[in-house]
Structure 1
Amino acid sequence: MNNSFDTQKQLTINGEQFHIHSLQGLGDQAKRLPFSLKILLENLLRNEDGVNIKKQDIKALLNWDSQAKPSAEVAFTPARVVMQDFTGVPAIVDLAAMRDAMERLGGDPAKINPLSPAELVIDHSVQVDGYGEDGSFDLNAKLEYERNKERYEFLRWGQTAFDNLKVVPPATGIVHQVNLEYLARVVFNEERNGQRFAYPDTLVGTDSHTTMINGLGVLGWGVGGIEAEAAMLGQPISLLIPQVVGMKLNGRLPEGTTATDLVLTVTEILRKHGVVGKFVEFYGDGLADLPLADRATIANMAPEYGATCGIFPIDDETINYLRLTNRDETQLKLIEDYAKHQGLWRNDGDEANYTDTLELSLNDVVPSLAGPKRPQDRIALDQAGDIIGKHLKGFQDERLAKRDNSDEQQARIEDEGPTTNPDEPINEAQFMGAAKVNFKGQEFELKDGACVIAAITSCTNTSNPSVILAAGLVAKKARQLGINVKPWVKTSLAPGSQVVTDYLKNADLMDDLDALGFNLVGYGCTTCIGNSGPLADEISEAIQQHKLVVSSILSGNRNFEGRIHQDVKMNFLASPPLVVAYAIAGRTDIDVYNEPLAQDANGNDIYLKNIWPSVSEVNELVKKTVTKEMFATSYGNVYKGDDRWQQIKIPDGKLYDWNDASTYIKKAPFFDGMSIEPPGIPAISGARCLAKLGDSVTTDHISPAGAIKASAPAGEYLQENGVEKSQFNSYGSRRGNHEVMMRGTFANVRLKNLLAPGTEGGVTRTQPDDELASIYDAAMAYQQQGVPLVVLAGAEYGTGSSRDWAAKGSLLLGIKAVIAQSYERIHRSNLIGMGVLPLQFKAGESHESLGLTGQEQFDIEDLFDKTKEVCVIATNNEGKKVSFSADVRIDTPKEWDYYKHGGILQYVLRNMLSN
């Protein structure tokens, strides 16, 4: 490695010498760099090789202009990669397929191997089937293993076949919480050739909430599985040196508020300010009183406020947390001394040079919710009843409009007679907003606004003892007053690690949560990712038959349309104690400050204030019940797993023995027909529009998680292959099968394709015949005709989780280009990684302003290497042409290399073949 700036030094810590790249001799400008850019600077210095990282790259970062538009590209080399199983399984499938391709092309398959630590945590596969009673955990674990046997066999093979890959078994915890509590090093201590090296812990992860680790001062963010695979194979992550927004925190959270309220406030402020593609860094005197768990809660939701990362500096609180979570004292000394030497330690009054600065007084934070569709849509709790009521009214008006349309249809049928496909006659009861339900021996009326799911779930909040114990205290006080949750609410507790249940038991609160139906259902993401499981048949039938507008409330980070449950229209994010409170109320359109949540046995009204714990009560309980020994015990044999895991058969061999009959694991098709020479930049002409979409189309809309409908193309495929509906599992669990996932692309039940107005779901109109068809069937028909496809979209295309299948599925459907008003960072990158061209309308233009109907043929002029803009010609059926310029959103030279090779994995594979 090169050493152009003479930074290779030795640092003595604990009597041992460590080789480091010191930032001390780089002058005042380096000292004034934001914390995150100092970590990036060290990364460049340490990996300078004259090829991927050159002297001028380091100089560009040293001379960083905080106000300039990002233009200088650098190569970030993460120290490790972290994955969860939904995104990790297809990543390992791709690596296994790469080994096959390597052998076919005459190379050594053993070269396909992670070169840096890769850690995969199985946390996304458990679903909430059993709930609200003892034995729920065991039932859900049993079903998880039954449903995912093939996937787990494959992962156990991967653990033995690939070096540097470790798998944390099911029922251990959520990847980000396990990362925070156990996997994170903060500073790496590595031995090479008998010498010790120290450098910052950095990472990328195949889940957008990888940023949670920023709370520990570790630089990392979510990438698509495609980029993560390349990182595992030694490819640096290409990025433009970002702008950095500093957010100054001061004051303390007031009585009655939680870390969840703080993060929803931060999310609202930063999303409104605009931080997409930027780093966010938190500083200020408020950090002195901000617990690490609260910092991690804020860092976790960086994707929700749109930033690449949301990082906190290292300080005493960092060390205290690491000590609590049973990190070695020698390692803690290394972290502290190294951070202080490198200027990575927080001191009072520190303030770096930032692009912009914002300020938040923690004293101004108020109790909050977010919803009903987006995490950045914060609602102050004292206004929630009114605001949610207005949202409810909007959904009710939609329902009435559908009734009116149905009335017209019915009148036409009566006048003209039935068509070959008549609508069903009107049933007025469908529009009354209420239904009588008999469930488990209780009869009640289920109404619009009912809360049917209340879930304490997601790493965002279950990593934070203060909000979990507060939820337990709410349950305890409610139980003492003799009140319970409403019978129609599906309740669940899915902690992020086993430590959570340890301290709940230690605090004597587990029985209280159980008594209210918040029984342990599993250690995993569950409801937050759409694994909420089925509602009771009686509840689901009432919702569907009467078209009820019902809601969910969860302590998660995502509430996009169609994500939580297909029967649920409104979804709200809230702190765990509020989740319990709303479950008691049984509805979300309630003024929780002024209306009673319930009545006790004597008919007395019980209000939120009667069951809400004080801050001092919660803090005292945290100090008393959360201990270092709990972390030592929980993570003592973290890779061992339970008996079920130990009994899984491990296939042999460095090449995977693909089972053609499998409906879970299929050989990835991305290398089929691949040649040694790259194909170059493809031409796109005569393309048709597969989908015309509005703003804020998320990766949930493009590649949904959650349940697979029997009538959907993916459901039909599974049934054709002998899979019973009860064994469908979820889209996420079948991500290792491209046949399922390409059929699930654009299949979200809430997707509105403007090409097929009046429809919801994966529906389009084929051109030029203008016939309705499923998006999958239409795409296959276009492929048979050799017609390339495009997608037209609005602003913020691809927001949400870092779902590589949103890009992979797009490619397999035959989509060659997307033309959108703007992109979320990860999805734009993923599209390029799969060889799909991201184009962007010029500022002020859109498919609406240009009058594009989506029925045109699209020709995109030939691209050349590093082209900044391109002409698109849209020709309608009458031959009228609309020409417009679009920006080419291939932002870096490395991304151009990927696109010319047909994708990032093909680029890596060809490089390995040539070396």
Structure 2
Amino acid sequence: MQLRAAGPRRPQDLRTLSDIPAVLAEGAVPAASRPEDMPIFPVALAAITSCTNTSDPKLLVAAGLVARKARSLGLRVPRWVKTSLAPGSPAASSYLRRSGLLEDLGALGFDIVGFGCTTCIGNPGPLSAPVKEELDAGRIRPVAVLSGNRNFPGRVHPDLDLGFIMSPPLVVAYALAGRADVDLAAFDFRPELEIDGVRRGAGGRNGDGKIRAARPVRLADLLPTQAEIDAAWAAGQDRLDFARDFSLAVENPMWSRLEAPGGAQFPWDPESTILRRPPFASASEGSQLGRYTAHPLLVLGDDITTDHISPASAIPADSLVADFLVERGEDRADLNVFASRRGNWEVMLRGAFHNKTVGNRLGAGLEPPLPVAHTVHAPSGDVVPLWEAAERYRNDGDSVVIVAGERFGTGSSRDWAAKVQRLLGVRAVIAGSFERIHRSNLIGMGVLPLIAPADVRAQLGQLRPGDRVEVDAAAGDLAPRADVAVVIHHADGTRTPFTARAAVETELDVELLRAGGVIPSLLRSTIEAAG
């Protein structure tokens, strides 16, 4: 059996551990710029995280046993690696403590930082100071290793575009190695540092005075056997842990102390930076179907994920989103993450496509390149934030569409990825293909997904400011998988007509698009039922 990890940018890209160095080498830093005391591909974040991959207690036990063996051999995690443990259930704390493994994990820095969503959804906190310094200088390509579900660029941290998904015990092993550009199975884990003039990699005393054997320490020396895992689990388990610890979490007095308004209607606070009533939560929001000619707001490539569209990670302190919040009294040093602000539609609107790896092809050839989450407002030629361009188009009565490549909306089933497109006024997304949940979410927000035929996708990807797209999607003509006439009106006066297919699968999809989305549909039906 070969050990594997997935990455470095998509969870479907499964690699053997021996393949990882070659994959990373494709983006190596020039030799002249390399750091002196840190690898080029340092492990910046090592996180045992996610409800999914920590729900098997034996995987956590295995990680604890790797930590225990590493302690017995005197191994330590390098100073630049930020470690964390965030199980999905508080019961993990009980059985790990009972088996003695919580102490072993903590000794390597894998202390419990919380339960539930942390690094996997983009809540790891800041990078370590050494990594941040070298990253800002352009001397390293830092890597995240995590037992999470997603590793899309910018997902776990806005400054990281490389990440590998793996089992919890491998997370601990990579943290000990401190670098991702090695074949971990063949790697010698003995640190190559000198303490009191003794090279630890050649044998000698560790900093704590313990004697180290001179022989190499390999991954096989750290990974536990199935018998060892079973024995540790038997020593730590108590079937009552899950019900007992869940009850304690539910009964946390912090929940009961939360203030909640009374009354039949929620008292929206227009000054709140956390919770605001979004424009789409209205019965007056109408259908976006019809015949129109639109400006492309964005022209994108393949594999645009929901993390690209609506990030959940930290709000960058130097961003326009941060400026918006600071103007309203927030502390620039404590803005939290986008996910904590998803009740505020204005923050999420400004955070739309706020990912440095998103390439907007409308800016092809521009110097300097388009800043993150910006586009070209075609009538004026101005380079402006997406939300500002959308507002200008709306005020001028112009429609907008988004053009994309294959697998648009892949990744997490993040409803805000569809909501921000509705807030931007997007009437249709024309793509090579759609991820199925995001397709459904777009329809739920009244945005029409259209699949472009293969023979025009290259032309669509070359659209430039001044080109426009005519869409003939009358509400009365729309049906499941219906043909939709589309014409590209090029800025030079030429035309490219083609037939797109509505990525509409059911009559319910059609009804929702005619109603303007699921929220207006529900609100109108509720009002009508009340008389």
Q: TM-score, normalised by structure 1?
A: 0.53
Q: Contact conserved, 1:874 with 1:881, CA < 8 A, in 2?
A: yes
Unaligned runs of 5+ in 2: 192-199, 201-205, 207-211
| Map of 1:657 onto structure 2 | 267
* Cα deviation code 1:824-846 (max 9, x no counterpart): 1111111111111111112x234
Match of 1:590 among 182, 185, 191: 182
Give the superposition deviation at 1:683. Answer: 2.3
Give the superposition deviation at 1:531. Answer: 0.5
Give the superposition deviation at 1:717. Answer: 1.1
1-side partners of 2:159 and 2:250: how far apart? 37
2-side partners of 1:519 and 1:710: how far apart? 27
- Residue 439 of structure 2 corresponds to residue 828 of structure 1: yes
1-side partners of 2:460 and 2:167: how far apart? 44
Match of 1:390 among 15, 22, 37: 22
Correspondences of 1:294-313 after superposition (within 5 Å): none
2-side partners of 1:760 and 1:606: how far apart? 46
Correspondences of 1:710-721 after superposition (within 5 Å): 710-721=317-328
1-side partners of 2:250 and 2:342: how far apart? 23
- Residue 375 of structure 2 corresponds to residue 743 of structure 1: no
Q: Contact conserved, 1:865 with 1:896, CA < 8 A, in 2?
A: no
Q: Please, what is the CA RMSD of the aligned residues?
A: 2.0
Give the superposition deviation at 1:582. Answer: 0.6
Q: Contact conserved, 1:820 with 1:846, CA < 8 A, in 2?
A: no
Unaligned runs of 5+ in 1: 1-364, 401-430, 437-444
Match of 1:536 among 125, 128, 134: 128
- Residue 10 of structure 2 corresponds to residue 432 of structure 1: no
1:612 is matched by which residue type in structure 2? L
Give the superposition deviation at 1:393. Answer: 2.5
1-side partners of 2:149 and 2:287: how far apart? 40
Give the superposition deviation at 1:878. Answer: 1.8
2:22 is matched by which residue type in structure 1? K
Match of 1:667 among 268, 277, 287: 277
Q: Contact conserved, 2:66 with 2:169, CA < 8 A, in 1?
A: yes
Find the residue that maps to 1:635 and give its secondary structure: helix
Match of 2:69 among 470, 474, 477: 477
Give the superposition deviation at 1:455. Answer: 0.4
1-side partners of 2:276 and 2:461: how far apart? 42
Q: Contact conserved, 1:712 with 1:747, CA < 8 A, in 2?
A: no
Find the residue that maps to 2:333 and give its secondary structure: helix
- Residue 367 of structure 2 corresponds to residue 367 of structure 1: no
1:389 is matched by which residue type in structure 2? P
Find the residue that maps to 1:435 and give its secondary structure: coil
- Residue 145 of structure 2 corresponds to residue 553 of structure 1: yes
Give the superposition deviation at 1:712. Answer: 2.7
Give the superposition deviation at 1:852. Answer: 4.3
2-side partners of 1:572 and 1:684: how far apart? 45
| Map of 2:98 onto structure 1 | 506
1:657 is matched by which residue type in structure 2? P
Match of 1:905 among 500, 514, 519: 519
Give the superposition deviation at 1:619. Answer: 2.2
Closer/same/farther in 2, CA of residues 846 and 800 from structure 1, 3 Å limit: farther
* Cα deviation code 1:745-795 (max 9, x no counterpart): 111121111112355631322214444322222222222222111111111
| Map of 1:701 onto structure 2 | 308
2:5 is matched by which residue type in structure 1? L
Q: Contact conserved, 2:317 with 2:333, CA < 8 A, in 1?
A: no
Find the residue that maps to 1:522 and give its secondary structure: coil
| Map of 2:256 onto structure 1 | 646
Q: Contact conserved, 2:294 with 2:398, CA < 8 A, in 1?
A: yes
Give the superposition deviation at 1:591. Answer: 1.4
| Map of 1:779 onto structure 2 | 390
1:489 is matched by which residue type in structure 2? V
2-side partners of 1:528 and 1:679: how far apart? 36
Give the superposition deviation at 1:849. Answer: 4.7
* Cα deviation code 1:391-436 (max 9, x no counterpart): 333223xx66xxxxxxxxxxxxxxxxxxxxxxxxxxxxxx734335
1-side partners of 2:493 and 2:407: how far apart? 31
- Structure with the bigger percentage of helix: 1
Find the residue that maps to 1:906 and give its secondary structure: helix
2-side partners of 1:391 and 1:473: how far apart? 29
Find the residue that maps to 1:786 and give its secondary structure: coil
Give the superposition deviation at 1:848. Answer: 0.8
- Residue 340 of structure 2 corresponds to residue 729 of structure 1: no
* Cα deviation code 1:245-296 (max 9, x no counterpart): xxxxxxxxxxxxxxxxxxxxxxxxxxxxxxxxxxxxxxxxxxxxxxxxxxxx
Give the superposition deviation at 1:632. Answer: 3.0
Give the superposition deviation at 1:871. Answer: 0.8
Find the residue that maps to 1:726 and give its secondary structure: coil
Q: TM-score, normalised by structure 2?
A: 0.90
2-side partners of 1:454 and 1:851: how far apart? 37
Higher mean displacement: 538-547 or 654-663: 538-547
1-side partners of 2:268 and 2:288: how far apart? 32
* Cα deviation code 1:481-523 (max 9, x no counterpart): 1111111100001111111111101111111111111111111
2-side partners of 1:708 and 1:717: how far apart? 11
Q: Contact conserved, 2:41 with 2:142, CA < 8 A, in 1?
A: yes
Higher mean displacement: 566-575 or 700-709: 566-575
1:583 is matched by which residue type in structure 2? A
Match of 1:453 among 45, 49, 58: 45
Give the superposition deviation at 1:590. Answer: 1.1
% same residue: 39
Give the superposition deviation at 1:716. Answer: 1.9
Q: Contact conserved, 2:403 with 2:461, CA < 8 A, in 1?
A: no
Give the superposition deviation at 1:914. Answer: 2.4
1-side partners of 2:400 and 2:461: how far apart? 19
2:46 is matched by which residue type in structure 1? A
- Residue 114 of structure 2 corresponds to residue 522 of structure 1: yes
2:44 is matched by which residue type in structure 1? V
Find the residue that maps to 2:27 and give its secondary structure: helix
Correspondences of 1:191-202 after superposition (within 5 Å): none
| Map of 1:883 onto structure 2 | 497
Correspondences of 1:245-394 after superposition (within 5 Å): 365-381=1-17, 383=18, 387-394=19-26
Give the superposition deviation at 1:638. Answer: 4.7
Match of 1:804 among 388, 391, 415: 415
1-side partners of 2:255 and 2:478: how far apart? 49
Closer/same/farther in 2, CA of residues 912 and 851 from structure 1, 3 Å limit: closer
Give the superposition deviation at 1:637. Answer: 4.5
Superposition misfits of 4+ residues, deviation over 4 angstroms: 678-681, 849-852
- Residue 422 of structure 2 corresponds to residue 815 of structure 1: no
Match of 1:617 among 224, 228, 231: 228
Give the superposition deviation at 1:709. Answer: 1.7
Closer/same/farther in 2, CA of residues 873 and 750 from structure 1, 3 Å limit: same
2-side partners of 1:394 and 1:892: how far apart? 44
